[in-house]
Structure 1
């Protein structure tokens, strides 16, 4: 066997594998003997079928299978032993395979195109990342408490007049035509001008508006009419909405029932403890989001300062070969996103190697178990699930042919990589308002 690497440039190469008869024929003969022992052909006793008949019936298919298996293992071994950083998968030159004369005893040559990442260096020095933080002041605490009271409040149907936050149930009907639909309408889905028409309405009142100008966006129009966006877009003209009832959520009282609903039975037992717990929870959530923002900025910074050449033409060919349904336009539109994600993956791999970052399988198991615990706690279950937790986690990790395991493994590895970068980077902390924080979070 002869294997030759032809490196065209830093990101593209070809690997030519030439097999002699001595490389593949012993395996072929072994398979023919196995077929002979098992073959059941009319007119011959089991195990007594002549070799010549086996070769005539199965010889070529056996030869092709054995050569393909030998090619695959030889190619992967060569790539691994020579530490070639292959991107995607090697693409066989189909014209080489098509020209093979399988009936002649000859050397067989096959060529595979491969793509590689260009050499690059990840610099972690002089890296400054801005990490915004939010101090949960009294105003933010009261805003959160108001939202919680509304979220867990009781739904009522007052006669009216309507107040801010009320929703309307009624009939939406075209003034000309047959369209009508009974459903819920939220003022938030309406334009500012149309919202004014709904102020102070009560059950039995009606308002009219131009359907094209009334709603803030096509999605809101589709929801209000019960149609899909395409059908809703065809509606036009004046429509009348008649209020049948108001839906108002009365804020929940700050009492033990609310405390138990939010944090679980007996976790807090007074309004003072509840306020402290809410403040702590909100602060933890903002701190977690601040870390997420910092991680997003680390990714952006490292991508911008790390130049990695990719074999773009090869990768597009590979994506096309492995995704037959993808159109040329979809490929061109989606490739920049794919290339960015690929560069980030290469950067993470390099950092993991240089920083000797590893993930213990035990960590994968514990992460999954923690996630399952949180899910069960939402249903009021606690310590009683511990005995079956290992079984739940194992089944999850083994599901989907191990894809779940790799997803959790990669997540933990990514977390460790980002933590390592944060330890080396300079984090510029700045305190912002909750509103400013939300704006920054939307950008990232």
Structure 2
């Protein structure tokens, strides 16, 4: 057997294999003998079928199967031996396969196209600069949050008529809808100039108005309209209840409701704990953006040449339902993901960053505990946490394990990068962040 690599470019090559009869014939003969022992053919006793009959009936299919298996195995062994870093998988030359004369030929030639990962350098140091955002927690935001908490845990009453600051629960009358879903309209979200149309109204009253003009906040408007979100122009809203909230006071009762019994003792402690909670939430929110900026920074600044034509062919072969148009459209996204994966692997190898099985198991346990949130886990459930984690990781044919492994690996790479590069976070308000990011 002769196997050789013909380099086409830095990222593409051909693996060529030539087989002589002596390379495959012993395996073929062995397989035919096995067929002879098991074959059940009319007119012959089991195991007594002449080999000439077996060869005539099964010889060609055995030859094709054995050679294909031998060639595939040799290709992968060669790639492993030469430590070739593949992109995609080897693609056999189908034209050459079609040309094979399986009836009379003794020697066979095969050819596989491969895509290879190029050499590139990755620097993870303070010279690498990543720009991101940090949401500032100012007094205005603290005061808004405190007001929201006081309203959330306040006392709700149902007065007869609506006043400024109330909310109205009712139904949007729609054609053909016998039992419309209930919805709530917070008068604080209604434009000031239109609030007079709602104040003084009571249960049973109907109001005709255009939500697109009276409710400027798109999210609030969509929540109010619900299934009627596509409606245009004026709608008729029938009031069922007027709801009025008397805000809770900043006292021990509120402290206990928000953070748990006796976790906070003074108003100053409560405000500081609220500030910390907001800051933690915003840090989690901006962390996703920072990770994307880190990813983009490395992808944009590290030149990695890819075997584009090979990869497009491989994507077409490995995804039968995908069209050429889809490949062209989605290819930039695919290659960005591929480049980022290559960069992460390079960083991991250079800095001995690994993920062991126990790391994945521990992450599964943490994830399960987090799902119980503030309720916590009972002693009995905690005692069975190993079984819960094992069941989760085995589910979906092991895909859960692979996904969690990738999550842990990605988190470690990101943590390493954050420690070693220069991250500059511009402080912005929550509104500015959502607009910019």
Give the TM-score range, shorter chain.
0.7 to 0.9
The answer to whether the aligner puts 1:173 opposite 2:174 as a matched pair is: yes
Identify the residue that residue 236 of structure 2 maps to in structure 1: 240
Per the alignment, do residues 288 and 238 of structure 1 end up closer, same or farther by CA in structure 2, a change over 3 Å counting?
closer
Unaligned runs of 5+ in 2: none
Partners of 1:357 and 1:416 within 8 A in 2: yes
SS in 2 for 1:9: coil
Alignment of 1:13-412 (within 5 A): 13-125=13-125, 126-130=127-131, 132-133=133-134, 136=137, 139-150=140-151, 158-161=159-162, 163-164=164-165, 166-173=167-174, 182-185=180-183, 187=185, 196=195, 199-200=198-199, 201-209=201-209, 224=225, 226=227, 232=230, 239-246=235-242, 263=259, 266=261, 268=263, 270=265, 274-412=270-408
Residue 7 of structure 2: aligned partner:
7
Partners of 2:65 and 2:246 lie apart in 1 by 72
TM-score, scaled to structure 1: 0.81
| Structure 1, unpaired ranges of 5+ | none
* 1:123–1:306 CA contact under 8 A, matched in 2: no
- Indicate conservation of the 8 Å contact 1:181/1:226, yes or no: no
The Cα shift of 1:260 comes to 6.3
Distance 1:18-1:158 versus aligned 2 partners, 3 A rule: farther
SS at match of 2:181: strand
Task: Report the secondary structure of 1:40's partner residue.
Answer: coil
**Is contact 2:133-2:428 (8 Å) kept?**
no
The alignment's C-alpha RMSD in Å is 3.7
| 1:276 shift after superposition | 4.8
Q: Which residue of 1 aligns with 2:433?
A: 440
Do the aligned residues in 2 keep the contact of 1:169 with 1:184 (CA within 8 Å)?
Answer: yes
**Can you list the C-alpha shifts for 1:248-279, whole angstroms capped at 9, x where unaligned?**
66656767776666556x57264556555444
CA distance in 2, matches of 1:316, 1:267: 62
- What is the number of residues matched between the two proteins? 432
* 2:408 alignment partner, SS class: helix
1:274-305 superposed Cα distances (whole Å, 9 cap, x missing partner): 55544433333334445444333222221221
Please give the alpha-carbon distance, in whole angstroms, between the structure 1 residues aligned to 2:111 and 2:190: 63
Alpha-carbon deviation of 1:199? 3.8
**Range with bigger deviation, 331-340 or 290-299:** 290-299
Q: Is 316-325 or 375-384 further displaced after alignment? A: 375-384
SS at match of 1:182: coil
Give TM-score, length-normalised by structure 2: 0.83
Distance 1:246 1:208, change over 3 A: same
Could you tell me how far 1:372 is from its partner in structure 2? Answer: 0.8
- C-alpha distance in structure 1 between counterparts of 2:245 and 2:64, whole Å: 71
Equivalents in 2 of 1:9, 1:302: separation in Å? Answer: 24
**Which of the numbers 410, 416, 421 marks the counterpart of 2:417?**
421
1: CA distance between counterparts of 2:395 and 2:59?
Answer: 39
